[in-house]
A and B are shown apart, each in its own frame.
Chain A
Amino acid sequence: MRKRLCITPLFALALSACSLTSVQEEPRGTGDLGVVIERAAGNVLIVEHTNNQAIARVEGLGDLSHASVVFSRDERYAYVFGRDGGLTKVDLLKQRIDKRIIQGGNSIGGAISQDGRLIAVGNYEPGGVKIFTADTLELVADIPATAIADGSKNSRVVGMVDAPGQKFLVSLFDTGEIWIIDFSDSAADAPTVSRFTDIGKQPYDSMLTPEGRYYIAGLFGEDGLAMLDLWNPEQGVTRILDGYGKGNQALPVYKMPHLEGWTVADNQAFVPGVGHHQVLVIDTQTWQQSKAIEMVGQPVFVMARPDARQIWVNFAYPDNQYVQVIDSQTKEVIKTIEPGPGVLHMEFTPRGEHIWISVRDRNEVQVWDTQTLEHLYTLEADNPSGIFFTNRAHRIGL
């Protein structure tokens, strides 16, 4: 209807009037957009980090108790993976749900393929991986996880990432495996799955190096990490940092840590010490621990600023009101800030001048300057949790 009006050959006035009536006044890019999860309400806020503002709220995404997001390669669509098994494709430009399916009973997260055509989801219930077309969310493959010892159900799947060569990698929490799911043979009916077993007890999450070479799963059931070199997968999974907590009684873990992206700076990787008030530093030349940095609580997210000069860390309950900043060169904490109770997630702007911090119990998203370490802006949000900016679309393993 609108289009027909537009092509009616009238005056310039008519044309401009036409453009004024359109939903979107001007064409715009999406490179400065993102979404904030409002986890209790089941909404996402569409946000814009050029002007530090929320521009729309999209409702009806179901149970977002635990949610994660990947973006289409054109940075227009956000794929939101919800706790209830919901997979929702949100159009950031039209500010509405484009498509939504319930693909499982209980999911943990997902990934988008190298070519942008496939969306993979890792599920707790039923334990396994499902793969969908990115445009229409039609099922492409359903890969059940290994059955647990008593045969009652399948292992929960965690740590889903994409990897070069049209691959997805996952870890199996209950059966201690890492799988490579390979879609590179487009002529095949089904992907090939390479299974690595006995990788360690209870992998809880994983990360991939920025070039897509090393996949590392953190272990909850023991002190250590499991590493797979994707350039040399035939060498199998090797264990690193075995027994990192030796001599220290592990503390109760009130929130499962996350490994997101690869927090590596100056050949040093920074990971949460599970059950310890420590960030562990790994020398990536030798894969040996080079330091344990004492922190104010148990780390949940350990994230490097895009230039890797700082590492920002948030914490599990009951220390989740704090964020600490580590200098990546000296490996010392340079500042402890207190954004407020319930700091759940952090996201850097693409070039790292700001960090956005969700402060659940204050119903705030705070924007901090990473150079001055000062609080700049505050956005209102209803119980915010995850913050995801569109530049993730072009990063391997996120």
Chain B
Amino acid sequence: MRYLSKRKYAVIFLMASFLFPLTSHAESISAERQATLKHLLIQDCGSCHGLRMKGGLGPALTPGDIADKPKEGLVATIIHGRPGTAMPPWAALLTDQEATWLIDQLLQGVSP
């Protein structure tokens, strides 16, 4: 797995923080949208990361795999993707707030 250099990461993070203030307002995501996001997480993220988030073409995303990683970086990975890998940018389909909510779900652990 190739990782971005720290500097590139910082740039992406700064851009992300400028465009989308990194505050979580999970309560402002409607219950209906949360259900859609949960479904997306398990079924569509799960296509590469596994329905149980134990990895596949993409890396494992269980709480144990991601708990020690900076949350902002994880959110930025969802929004901007990871160039050079199969991870696409989801900015066209997800807001930063929704990506943050998804990371929160992963940190709590999800299962189908």
Q: Chain A interface (Cβ within 8 Å of chain B)?
A: 39-41, 63, 65-66, 83-84, 106, 108, 124-125, 156, 173, 202, 204, 220-221, 252-256, 317-318, 342, 360-361, 383
Contact = CB atoms under 8 A, between A and B. Distances in A.
B51 interface: yes
Contacts of B88: 252-254
Nearest to A252: B88
B51 A252 contact: no
Given A65-B51, A317-B40, 6 more contacts: A40-B42, A63-B54, A65-B46, A124-B57, A221-B84, A254-B90
Contacts of A202: 86
B89 interface: yes
Contacts of A342: 43
B56 A65 contact: yes
Contacts of B55: 106, 124-125
Given A220-B86, A252-B89, A254-B88, A66 B54 contact: no
A360 B43 contact: yes
Contacts of B93: 254, 318
B63 interface: no
Contacts of B42: 40
A252 B47 contact: no
Chain B interface, DSSP helix/strand/loop, else mixed: loop
A173 B85 CA distance: 11
Nearest to A148: B1
B52 interface: yes
Interface string B28-48: 000000000001101110111
B112 interface: yes
Nearest to A275: B88
Interface of B: 39-40, 42-44, 46-48, 50-52, 54-57, 81, 84, 86, 88-90, 92-93, 112
B43 A256 contact: no
Contacts of A256: 47-48, 57, 86
A83 B56 contact: yes
Nearest to A300: B47
A66 B44 CA distance: 11
Contacts of B90: 252, 254
Nearest to B44: A317
A19 B93 CA distance: 59
B52 A65 contact: yes
B47 A66 contact: yes
A124 B56 contact: yes
Contacts of B40: 317
A318 B44 CA distance: 10
Contacts of A39: 51
A39 B51 CA distance: 8
B52 A63 contact: yes
Contact of B51 (A63, A108, A204, A361): A63
Contacts of A253: 86, 88
Nearest to B111: A40
Most central of A63, A65, A156, A254 by chain B CB within 10 Å: A65
A84 B43 contact: no
B112 A252 contact: no
A123 B88 CA distance: 23
A156 B51 contact: no
B54 A84 contact: yes
Contacts of B50: 63, 65-66, 83, 106
Nearest to A149: B2
Nearest to A220: B86
Most central of A63, A173, A220, A253 by chain B CB within 10 Å: A63
